[in-house]
Chains A and B, each alone.
Chain A
Amino acid sequence: METGVVVVEKVGGRSTVSRCFSKYPLKFIIPRKVGPSKTDAVWIYSLTYGGGIVSGDCISCDFTIGDGCTTVLTTQASTKVYKSLGSKCSEQVLEARIGSDALLVVIPDPVTCFSTAKYSQKQIFRVVSDSSLVIVDWITSGRHESGEKWEFDLYKSINNIFLEGDRPLFLDTVLLERGSVATIAERMQDYQVIAMIILLGPKLTHLQNQVQEDVKRMMSEQLHPPSTALGRYKRKNPDHCLTKPSFIASCSVFGPKGIGLVVRIAAVTTGSVYKFLQHELASMEPLLGVSPYC
């Protein structure tokens, strides 16, 4: 049983919410006007009562983005997953169908799991060959500023994209589980944020190229500092070579003819990931009316 249903269709030539339903603990806010009136995009803010997900909550949403429509799905703040009571796991499920020449942009704030929290999220996207899709899916270690780092029990995030029916295009699961071999914190070393960005489809070809070039440049600076800079640094700080980079990103293309790009990030601060997202997605402003994460 869904807790939320949204259908976006072209009405009078504009992307319009033709059906919207939500029930406790979920609520949608759909502002009439987000950007300049000439841009054709629907912005949907998904909120939960109390600003977070409590133990045992099950949120399940169904989105249909009609042919030619543009929709942005976002949040107003990070999704907090509170301490779990007993063995109860909190769940969020999203299923979205994206029509021909349509664009869905899923750009939430990160998920933050408090100590002992159990959280499982599943997002299924059904696309056709000329649908476009942006997914940002990210998690922080907890309230790390106050020392709560990777202390939750379970975090599972599934993102599956199917092309034209049931053809698997992208199947991904991130599973962080308190285990016997090593704690999550040990495995994460000093990194506090894990992020994944997916850019898929014809409307994002340009953005894919830009992100790939930027990541390549950033990482070659991080991993092979220019020899002169290194020389200077070495004199001041001989340990420089032993410190891990504070921001690691990697890019991979996927799908037939490389129609998709996935970027994975591990970072020490949440701020550095926000900055990256703002900078990289800024060129979507003409499509969405306003720039993401601003």
Chain B
Amino acid sequence: MEDGMEICKSSDRTASTNFCLQWSQWQLLDSILPTGGFAHSFGLEAAIQARIVSGPEDLRAYVILVLENTGSLLLPFVCSATMSPNLENWHKLDRMLDATLTNEVARKASIAQGSALMRLAAAVFAEVPSLKTMRDTSLGSGAVSFHHAPIFGLICGLLGMDSGSSQRAYMFITMRDVISAATRLNLIGPLGAAVLQHQIALVAEDMSKKWMASYGRGSMPNGSFA
């Protein structure tokens, strides 16, 4: 009887940890989190200007291409940071990503969003004190640029999320931000945007699986090993 109580208590504890994790996950993915996701349109504005995107059909194709690029380029960084959420690995990934984001606009947007996310996370997730310690150690050291993808993975890892979930979550916020840029640019209405987001989720899931499988053995897309 006593043993039974113990098991019950500990499974309660596990359950309550899991529930806490869910609240943190939802907050991390909530569009209300002020990380500056609205700061850039993932190239959508330029694509409209170059007449590559001019209506909802083009938009659908464009979002899928953005996700494909995110999958091949950024998911490996999210994955590695989630699996080894420590200072050394984060700094290494950040330097590598800084050399990989060769488009200046995308590089600056990644730094702006990453810095904002790290500042928020250090203040919000007080139960993980290492977030604040890592941020304080790195600020002003010049050793890191605070790129978004590794920081996102780092936070997920420290909150206890598994790497599959953190990578899907990264695809999710990317899709959400492109589609939200499209509504602000008047390419699609809010209802149409929600429908599109739900339809593309299936495609995004396939792409996440494909890219997770392709570097599952630790190989980074640029041929090096993380």
A interface residue numbers (CB < 8 A to B): 122, 158, 160-161, 167-173, 175, 179-182, 186-187, 189, 223, 241-245, 248, 250, 252-254, 262
Contact = CB atoms under 8 A, between A and B. Distances in A.
B54 interface: yes
B219 to A, nearest CB: 12
A186 B98 CA distance: 30
B52 A189 contact: yes
B51 A241 contact: yes
B223 A158 contact: yes
A172 B221 contact: no
Q: Most A CB atoms within 10 A — which of B50, B102, B103, B223?
A: B102
A160 B51 contact: no
Q: Most B CB atoms within 10 A — which of A173, A186, A244, A253?
A: A173
A223 B50 contact: yes
Contacts of A179: 68
B100 A172 contact: yes
Contacts, number: 66
Nearest to B101: A254
Interface of A: prevailing SS: strand
Interface string B20-61: 000000000000000000000000000001111010000001
Contacts of B124: none
A253 B104 CA distance: 6
A175 B203 CA distance: 19
B62 to A, nearest CB: 10
A172 B222 CA distance: 7
Nearest to B46: A250
B52 A181 contact: no
Nearest to A266: B50
Contacts of B96: 168, 171
A209 B222 CA distance: 29
A170 B64 contact: no
A242 B54 contact: yes
Contacts of A254: 99, 102, 104, 107
Nearest to B222: A171
A252 B51 contact: no
A182 B207 CA distance: 12
Interface of B: 49-52, 54, 61, 64-65, 68, 72, 95-96, 98-100, 102-105, 107, 203, 206-207, 221-224
A171 to B, nearest CB: 5
B51 A245 contact: yes
Nearest to B103: A252
Contacts of A180: 206
A186 B52 CA distance: 12
A122 B83 CA distance: 28
B223 A173 contact: yes
Given A171-B96, A182-B61, A250-B103, 17 more contacts: A122-B223, A158-B222, A160-B223, A161-B99, A167-B95, A168-B96, A168-B100, A169-B99, A170-B102, A171-B100, A172-B100, A223-B49, A223-B50, A244-B50, A245-B50, A253-B104, A254-B104
Nearest to B72: A175
A179 B99 CA distance: 27
B65 A187 contact: yes
Contacts of B52: 189, 244
A207 to B, nearest CB: 18
A21 to B, nearest CB: 25
Contact of A172 (B54, B72, B102): B102
Nearest to B65: A187
Contacts of B49: 223
Nearest to A248: B50
Contacts of B203: 181
A161 B206 CA distance: 32
B78 to A, nearest CB: 17
Contact of A181 (B64, B95, B98, B221): B64
Contacts of B64: 181-182
Given A171-B99, A181-B207, A160 B54 contact: no
Contacts of B223: 122, 158, 160, 173
Nearest to A254: B102
B206 to A, nearest CB: 8
B102 A252 contact: yes
Contact of B99 (A168, A186, A245, A253): A168
A149 B104 CA distance: 30
Contacts of B61: 182, 186
Contacts of A248: 50
B99 A244 contact: no
B45 to A, nearest CB: 11
A100 B12 CA distance: 65
A172 B223 CA distance: 10
